[in-house]
Amino acid sequence: MRDLFAPSIMCGDLLNLEEEIRTYEKAGADMIHFDIMDTTFTNTTMLPPLLLPAIHRATRLPVDVHVMVDRPERFIETLLPYCKDTYVSIHIESTKEIQNLLKAIKQAGGRPSVALNPGTSLCMVEEVVPLVDMMLVLLCNAGSGPKQDIDEQLSHKLQKAKMMLEQYGKPGALLEVDGNVSFENARRAKSLGANVFVLGTASIYNDKGTVPENMGRLREYLENN
């Protein structure tokens, strides 16, 4: 499977989002990563759900929504109208209603996904794997946390996550990594089964080149290493 790149739009120019989207399209991005945060699950705020319709109108690229709020069932009805053909990741740590939320996303025409922080056991998500089209494994805690390379624990988690998807009859489900996805971490994650890479300041938003240049370098790096 082709490596799927999901640039994180919150790292872009928030005053010129349509221009940012055009840059992604020209650079060969595969989807757009959209973070929702309200300080209840992370220590910051970012990107309201009401922005999603405008993004859908502006591009044919799939959108990958990462919900980082406590008790997302509080506002799921606001999000559901914008879920069609959209990956929506809900954190297992954030709710006791994970099965109902994933089913609601599916019924709305979306692509349900379960997310987990690096310290969370995969045992917590095992029961919902049959319901998902993607699993998101964070390489650092949602919204914060120290930046780190993929260590033995994360290596084991990614391997086990890939095996779990296959074990529960979801071999076509995506395995996404997010948080400090540097060139080396992306290479390592790919070798362990990941196929979707959320790209931010550790890879494409830096002074080493433009977003298209850095994305092209990363694709070449993953193809050759």
pLDDT of residue 39: 87
Residue 138 in contact with residue 113, Cβ under 8 Å?
no
Transcribe 8-67 into DSSP letters: BGGGS-TT-HHHHHHHHHHHT-S-EEEEEEESSSSSSEE--GGGHHHHHHH-SS-EEEEE
Burial class (CB in 10 A: 0-12, 13-18, 19+), 146: exposed
Domain count within the chain: 1
Domain range for 31: 4-224
Q: What are 124-163's pLDDT values in tens digits?
A: 999 999 999 999 999 998 766 556 788 999 999 999 999 9
CATH code for the domain of 10: 3.20.20.70
pLDDT of residue 42: 87
Residue 22 in contact with residue 211, Cβ under 8 Å?
no
- CA dihedral of residues 177, 112, 12, 30 (deg, nearest 10): 70
18's tokens: 């349509």
Map residue 89 onto helix, strand or coil: strand
pLDDT of residue 146: 52
pLDDT of residue 72: 96
pLDDT of residue 212: 98
Q: Which residues participate in catalysis according to the annotation? A: 35, 178
Q: What are 29-43's pLDDT values in tens digits?
A: 999 999 999 988 888
pLDDT of residue 53: 95
Regions of the chain short of the pLDDT cut 70: 143-147
pLDDT of residue 145: 55
